[in-house]
Chains A and B, each alone.
Chain A
Amino acid sequence: MSTETAKAIEKKPAEALFSKRRKKLVTDPLVDDNPITIQVLGICSALAVTTQMKPTLVMAISVIFVIAMSNFVISVMRNTIPGRVRIIVQLAVVATLVTLVSEVLKAFAYDMYKELSVFIGLIITNCIVMGRLEAFALGNKPYDSVLDGLGSAMGYSWIILTVAFFRELWGSGSVFGIPVFETISGWIGPDFKLATNGLMVSPVGAFIILGLIVWVQRTKTGYVEH
């Protein structure tokens, strides 16, 4: 072991592209340090866009793009950003990226743009974005920052997709717009009807699902609020 370490110092090889530390940057926010369930950030959009899977997926992809890119840009500029105006600089970069996403959606997926409308713009105020910029990108190298951003964004994404899955299934009886309840009713017989629950369509439904996810997760990981 010791010779190996010595060698490493001698050569100073670049850290592996997916070293253990870097993998942790991506995997930590997925469960143990999840932005929604542990840090309780980004709740607003998690409630608002999760009535159906499709807009949720678009939202998730947009957030992944914005967080990863803003982390990258800020990290590249981190040594030149004047400390006194750093928050404004971060906001300007994030706002630009969000506007780009919104413009692209408007041109290529107008229906999605209409449906998500204000929530795309509100990615700017998503606490996860600014949080990662302040806590990580300002003090770390670009590649690490991108990984960190991807991790946090994917932690956010899988939670909102899970919430959306249950909300669409119970609220509208479908998944990704494909009718599930109808199909099941069709198999069993004409008298058998699976009822949808209107509560799941309203934001209250998201709170309940989110609460259940937090409960299951904390039971498994043993996480306790301090």
Chain B
Amino acid sequence: MQQSNTYIIVFSAVLTIVLGLLLSGTSQVLGPMQQEAIALDKKKQILGAVVSAEEIDAMSPAQINEFYAKRISSTVVDINGNEISSVEAEKVEIAKDYKKPADKRQYPVFMFHAEGQPDAVESYIFPLYGAGLWDAIWGYLALETDMNTIAGITLAHAGETPGLGARITEGGVQERYIGKKIFDESGELVAVQMQKGEGKDYSGEEHKVDGMSGATITGTGVNNMLKAYLGHYETYIKSKSSSQAVAGL
């Protein structure tokens, strides 16, 4: 049947309003829960740099929040390593900040404390953000208190190829970084480079890890991201390592 133009316009308008109300209503109702889910996910990623994935999976959301509150403290620094006290580290959105020039960004640092020792820091966790082959990649890198040895890393991605680049999320790939060093003997920042090809043994080399077969570009993305972000944090990292060296004396 052929309807008049008026009917079509009115029908479309009513439909749009009804569907629009439905969607905005849902978004209003679910909004707080979604925010909570996102915050929890972020905590899981941060903890992932220092706690094994199995342990995190075994914890309930409430337990994760409690564990995080007990063991993690945080601060925000600028590119010169000066603390910005007005900002909460958990609120800094790395992805949004990434679009600003490096010296304008805010750099959160998360401190992981030993069990029952809220004053002693066990490792420092730094967020990372960069570009993979198809889309963004990000992660968290944990450094031991010597500010040189990698204690652990979590990596995540938005759209790397499943089975190839997407393997950066696998524990097996991330474990390769543990124990590697980011500074060379002369104190120069060299970070850690993932190599091309897979299956070689790099256990004797401090700045190299085995690559992912078929995912060289993603690997290069991870390398660039590590180098760039460790560079942004370099002043802070060096200030911490020298202060600890003094404390050690």
B1-32 interface (Cβ within 8 A of A)? 1-3, 7-8, 11-12, 15-16, 19, 22-23, 26-27, 30
> In this assembly, does B162 line the interface, its C-beta being within 8 Å of a C-beta of chain A?
yes
* Closest partner residue, chain B, to A51 (CB atom): B162
> In this assembly, does B173 line the interface, its C-beta being within 8 Å of a C-beta of chain A?
no
Q: Which of B2, B19, B38, B40 contacts A93 (CB 8 A)?
A: B19
> In this assembly, does B246 line the interface, its C-beta being within 8 Å of a C-beta of chain A?
no
Are A202 and B162 closer than 8 Å at their CB atoms?
yes
The proximity string for A residues 80-94 relative to B, scoring 1 for CB distances below 8 Å and 0 otherwise, is 111111001100110
Are B163 and A83 closer than 8 Å at their CB atoms?
no
> In this assembly, does A61 line the interface, its C-beta being within 8 Å of a C-beta of chain B?
no
> In this assembly, does B33 line the interface, its C-beta being within 8 Å of a C-beta of chain A?
yes
* Interface residues in A, total, Cβ within 8 A: 30
Are B12 and A85 closer than 8 Å at their CB atoms?
yes
Q: Which of A82, A89, A107, A203 contacts B3 (CB 8 A)?
A: A82
* Closest partner residue, chain B, to A48 (CB atom): B162
Are B37 and A83 closer than 8 Å at their CB atoms?
no
Asked if A82 meets B34 with Cβ closer than 8 Å, knowing A92-B19, A93-B19, A99-B23, the reply is no
> In this assembly, does B184 line the interface, its C-beta being within 8 Å of a C-beta of chain A?
no
Are A82 and B8 closer than 8 Å at their CB atoms?
yes
Are B41 and A110 closer than 8 Å at their CB atoms?
yes
List the A side residues contacting B3 at CB < 8 Å.
Answer: 82-84
* Interface residues in B, total, Cβ within 8 A: 27
Are A202 and B163 closer than 8 Å at their CB atoms?
yes
Asked if A92 meets B34 with Cβ closer than 8 Å, knowing A83-B2, A99-B23, A110-B40, the reply is no
> In this assembly, does A106 line the interface, its C-beta being within 8 Å of a C-beta of chain B?
yes
> In this assembly, does A122 line the interface, its C-beta being within 8 Å of a C-beta of chain B?
no
> In this assembly, does A12 line the interface, its C-beta being within 8 Å of a C-beta of chain B?
no
The proximity string for B residues 150-192 relative to A, scoring 1 for CB distances below 8 Å and 0 otherwise, is 0000000011011110000000000000000000000000000
List the B side residues contacting A99 at CB < 8 Å.
Answer: 23, 26
The proximity string for B residues 30-69 relative to A, scoring 1 for CB distances below 8 Å and 0 otherwise, is 1001100110110000000000000000000000000000
> In this assembly, does A220 line the interface, its C-beta being within 8 Å of a C-beta of chain B?
no
> In this assembly, does A104 line the interface, its C-beta being within 8 Å of a C-beta of chain B?
yes
Q: Which of A82, A96, A108 contacts B11 (CB 8 A)?
A: A82
Are A100 and B16 closer than 8 Å at their CB atoms?
no
| Distance of B43 from chain A, by nearest CB (Å) | 12
Are A110 and B22 closer than 8 Å at their CB atoms?
no
State A19–B160 Cα separation when bound (angstroms): 49
Are A110 and B8 closer than 8 Å at their CB atoms?
no
* Closest partner residue, chain B, to A199 (CB atom): B163
> In this assembly, does A182 line the interface, its C-beta being within 8 Å of a C-beta of chain B?
no
Question: By CB atoms of chain A within 10 A, which of B2, B7, B16, B162 has the most?
Answer: B162
Are B27 and A82 closer than 8 Å at their CB atoms?
no
Asked if A82 meets B7 with Cβ closer than 8 Å, knowing A104-B30, A198-B163, A202-B162, the reply is yes
State A108–B163 Cα separation when bound (angstroms): 27
List the A side residues contacting B40 at CB < 8 Å.
Answer: 110
Are B11 and A81 closer than 8 Å at their CB atoms?
yes
List the B side residues contacting A96 at CB < 8 Å.
Answer: 19, 22-23
List the B side residues contacting A201 at CB < 8 Å.
Answer: 162-163
List the B side residues contacting A82 at CB < 8 Å.
Answer: 3, 7-8, 11
List residues of chain A with CB under 8 Å of any chain B CB: 51, 80-85, 88-89, 92-93, 96, 99-100, 103-104, 106-108, 110-111, 113-114, 117-118, 171, 198, 201-203
- Give me 7 other A-B pairs in contact (C-beta within 8 A), A81-B11, A84-B8 excluded: A51-B162, A80-B11, A82-B8, A89-B11, A96-B19, A99-B23, A107-B33
List residues of chain B with CB under 8 Å of any chain A CB: 1-3, 7-8, 11-12, 15-16, 19, 22-23, 26-27, 30, 33-34, 37-38, 40-41, 158-159, 161-164
Q: List 14 contacting pairs A-B, 8 Å CB cutoff, sorted by A.
A: A82-B11, A83-B1, A83-B3, A89-B11, A89-B12, A89-B15, A93-B19, A96-B23, A103-B26, A104-B30, A108-B37, A110-B40, A114-B41, A118-B159
5 closest Cβ pairs, A-B complex: A201-B163, A110-B37, A107-B33, A107-B30, A82-B8
